[in-house]
Amino acid sequence: MARRYDPERRDRIIDAAIRVVGDRGIAGLSHRSVAAEADVPLGSTTYHFASLDELLIAALRRSNENFAEVMRESGVSTDPAADLAGELARLLGEYFAGGRGRAELEYELYLAALRRPALRPVAAEWTDSTAELLSRRTDPATARALIALVDGICLQVLLTGGEYDEAYAREMLRRIAG
């Protein structure tokens, strides 16, 4: 039997893994659940991703890339006339405007690195790439402090069930940005 050429299969599997984590959490992720979600044979998931950690790495990397793209498109890192704190606060507002689902999913993937050491380098990639983007507008230490505050604000909103307060975020980001 001839193999069917399917160049997007790997990407579909990653997208399916993200949906599974969003629906069932990390605990619900298995090669079988992802194969069913992606509508591919089970062997396809294990062919492209030998372990669940490899699949989680790809899912986390995809989430990282999505956020980095939003930041690049916003001009926050390249427009010297843009209000850095205001733009970061606005981006966070847009992040939460679509509901908590996306943020919960991305932070679940990000925080999975606490128990899965294989994910730690990918979690660090997000911090490093975001710091690099922000360092175009400020010094590296301030860029990292801004990232820490953004993470803290997001985690507080997600873990307490509170609402995102853009004015508060803007003020706190301004205090760090100077």
Task: Give residue limits of the domains in the chain.
Answer: 1-50, 59-177
pTM for the structure as a whole: 0.84
| Residues 85, 68: Cα–Cα separation, whole Å | 17
The string of pLDDT tens digits covering residues 78-120 is 888 889 999 999 999 988 888 888 888 888 888 999 999 999 9
- 1-50 sits in which CATH class? mainly alpha
Indicate if 59-177 has the same CATH topology as 1-50. Answer: no
54-90 burial code (b ≥16 CB/10 A, e <16):
ebbbbbbbbbbeebbeebeebebbeeeebebbbbbbb
- 59-177 sits in which CATH class? mainly alpha
